[in-house]
Structure 1
Amino acid sequence: MWWKTAVASAALAIAGPAVAQRPADALAGLWMNPHGSVVVRAGDCGSKLCGWIGWANGQAKQDAREEGVDPLIGVALLQDYEPNKDGTWSGTIYVPDMGRRFSSTIALVDRNQLKVKGCLIGGFICRSQLWHRVEHMPDA
């Protein structure tokens, strides 16, 4: 299921300052997906927000490898997110084990939780997950 991997891969954790100077500062840092299979490092990519896989467990690496994504570490999972007026961010999420990109929104629930939503078919079919901030990458 694409949304499991997307959310799993979308595991980012905030390590930004307590008082953000820019809206993206609150989203910057490390996030882990709810399955504990991926950690994503979120940060600036030009004037936008992006997130790259910094850690993945063996199963996530194998699933991605089966779709021709190897290595998984360093892959841009969150791509070109821009802020919306309602406090959410819109961009594209890449699902490595499917080799596909989906429209996506992310929203900070609180300092330690990020809601990641990916959609198919123009937003008619969507799935959401809560990613949790981590302070460091898991041990290998």
Structure 2
Amino acid sequence: MTAIRRLATAITTALILCGTAQAHAGPSSNSIAGTWMNPHNTVAVHTGACGEKLCGWVVWASAEAQSDARDGGTARLVGTALLENYKPDGAGGWSGTVFVPDRGQRFYSEIEPVDANAMKLKGCILHGLICRSQVWRRIPETPRG
């Protein structure tokens, strides 16, 4: 193999590796991207990239969840961002802000992948002193109705 061919091969390999590393670093390729159902089966959220961060928007909500959100001051639940500005935490999880529509409040939050079809969503108050978590499950499609 000539020196030029070896150099071209090395550059191509480096570019492929850099592209792979960037693809794995971005939220859109993370295992958290997708559509998720809360444990009460009342809200479905689609997660994906929002700039350099990860966000999640309500794509379906039960009548009860919509009513609770209205009572909390959120007029239209479907389309609302529940997961806001999550950044990788370096340990495989994400940290950001979760919006709780029925309370009309935002809280510090962490997301931790459990497996390919489950993620643990944690919301905290008092700088993480008191936290509550739920395990959300991945769903193949948005519910109807």
Q: Does 1:108 align with 2:110?
A: no
Aligned residue for 2:67, secondary structure, equals: helix
User: Where does the alignment leave 5 or more consecutive residues of structure 2 unmatched?
Assistant: 1-22
Partner of 1:82, secondary structure, is: strand
Q: Does the alignment pair 1:56 with 2:68?
A: no
Deviation at 1:137, TM superposition (A): 1.0
Query: How do 1:1-140 and structure 2 match up within 5 A?
Result: 21-23=23-25, 24=27, 25=29, 26-140=31-145
**1:139, distance to aligned residue in structure 2 (A):** 1.8
CA–CA distance in structure 2, aligned partners of residues 82 and 38 of structure 1: 23
User: Could you say which structure has the greater relative contact order, defined with CA pairs below 8 angstroms and 6 or more residues apart?
Assistant: 1
Which consecutive residues of structure 1, in runs of 5 or more, have no partner in the other structure? 1-20
For 1:65-114, what per-residue CA distance to the aligned partner results, in whole angstroms no more than 9, with x for missing partners?
11221111000000000001111100000001101000000011100000
Matched AA of 1:22: H
After TM superposition, give the deviation of residue 22 of structure 1 in Å. 2.2
Q: How many residues align structurally? A: 120
Counterpart for residue 6 of structure 1: none
SS of 2:141's equivalent in the other structure is coil
Based on CA coordinates, which of the two structures has the bigger radius of gyration?
2
Q: Give the SS at the match of 2:66.
A: helix
SS at match of 2:41: coil
AA at the equivalent of 1:101:
R
SS at match of 2:127: helix
Moved over 6 A (4+): none
Could you tell me the percent identity over the aligned residues? 50
Kindly report the root-mean-square deviation, in angstroms, between the aligned alpha carbons of the 2 structures: 0.8
For residues 107-140 of structure 1, what are the alpha-carbon distances to aligned partners after superposition, in whole Å with 9 as ceiling and x for unaligned? 1110000000000111010011100000111120
Identify the structure with the greater helix proportion.
Answer: 2
